[in-house]
Structure formats: structure tokens, C-alpha cells
């Protein structure tokens, strides 16, 4: 990477950039991801104990994003992870996942859970490399009109 990338919490003013990165992802047109609106993002990023992070290149351009939300007392769910196609393979996704894991540890969660759409299965090895393990548990936030996603979980080393 020729310019420095910084990871920071998402703010209201970042929502258009976050949305633009999501829409640039090239997700399968059948995915509910493509129907995400700015209002949907606002609700998911700024709900109770929810949030997200963005990756900013050179201090200005949003090139990656991720969201999270609580799922009970022990689980923080990671969602909406994406990096713009032109910066993939440069470690931005890993940094964003690590930011969510750090947030989970800070907030006392024992694990991070994520779901991979059946239309995006090629990303599964990425999560496995980061220590996520496939789980058979159902995904509480699955879109009812979409096929069931693959669920992955990572247990965190949280001090007792």
C-alpha cells in the first residue's frame, strides 16, 4: 500500500462512504446485501451497543468497512465486512476483523460470530485463516428470503 490506512469507528458522516464501499463489493445480485439502504446502515451502526469501523486510505477515502452488534451477553456479531476490490489482498479486511475482535474483548464478549452468505462462500477460507470455526448454530439475523448462511465463531481470550 502506497498510502497509510487507518481504522477508526464509523461516524454518521461516514455512512455514505460505508454504503458506497458495500455497493462496490460486487456481491451476487441475489444477496440481500444489495438492498441495503443508508437508513438500514444508520439503524444497524447506531443501535444499542452496535457500531462499526471504517478503513480510510490516505486520510480521506473510505476503502473498507465492518459492522457489529450484540447477540446476547456472550456474543458480538460481525457483519458487513468488505474492502473495495482495488485494495483487496492488502490486509484491510484482517485489520477490520481485528478491530471488531478488540471491541468484543473490551466489552467483555466471549466470542465473535459471523455469517457468510451462500452467495459469497469464496470468503470462507479468509475467516478460517483468522481463527474462525464453522458452527452448526442458526444465524438469528438471516434474511428470510435468502438461503441459510454458513455460521462461523471465534472464541476470544477474555480475562475472567
**Average model confidence (pLDDT) across the chain:** 89
More confident residue, 135 or 158: 135
Q: Per-residue confidence at 54, pLDDT binned at 50, 70, 90?
A: very high
As given in the structure block, the three cell numbers for residue 75 are 456474543
DSSP 159: -
Residue with cell 485494495: 87
Q: What is the mean pLDDT of residues 82-100?
A: 93
Distance CA 85, CA 99 (A): 20
pLDDT beyond 70 at 160? no
As given in the structure block, the three cell numbers for residue 116 are 457468510
Q: Per-residue confidence at 61, pLDDT binned at 50, 70, 90?
A: confident
Backbone angles phi, psi at 112, to 5 degrees: -115, 135
Which pLDDT belongs to residue 138? 82
Angle at 110 between CA 107 and CA 112, to 5 degrees: 90
Q: What is the mean pLDDT of residues 51-60?
A: 89
What domains can be seen in the chain, in order of their start residue? 5-155 (3.40.630.30)
For residue range 131-145, list pLDDT tens digits in order.
999 999 888 777 777
For residue range 4-16, list pLDDT tens digits in order.
899 999 999 999 9
Amino acid at each position: 500500500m502506497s498510502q497509510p490506512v487507518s481504522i477508526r469507528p464509523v461516524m454518521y458522516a461516514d455512512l455514505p462512504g460505508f454504503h458506497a464501499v458495500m455497493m462496490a463489493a460486487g456481491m451476487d445480485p441475489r444477496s440481500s446485501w444489495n438492498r441495503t439502504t443508508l437508513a438500514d446502515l444508520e439503524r444497524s451502526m447506531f443501535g444499542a451497543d452496535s457500531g462499526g469501523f471504517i478503513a480510510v486510505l490516505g486520510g480521506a477515502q473510505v476503502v473498507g468497512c465492518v459492522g457489529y452488534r450484540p447477540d446476547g451477553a456472550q456474543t458480538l456479531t460481525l457483519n458487513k465486512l468488505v474492502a473495495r476490490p482495488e485494495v483487496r489482498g492488502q490486509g484491510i479486511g484482517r485489520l477490520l476483523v481485528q478491530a471488531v475482535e478488540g471491541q468484543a474483548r473490551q466489552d467483555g464478549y466471549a466470542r465473535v460470530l459471523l455469517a457468510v452468505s451462500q452467495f459469497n462462500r469464496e470468503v470462507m477460507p479468509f475467516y478460517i485463516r483468522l481463527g474462525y470455526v464453522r458452527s452448526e448454530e442458526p444465524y438469528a439475523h438471516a434474511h428470510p428470503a435468502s438461503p441459510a448462511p454458513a455460521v462461523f465463531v471465534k472464541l476470544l481470550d477474555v480475562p475472567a
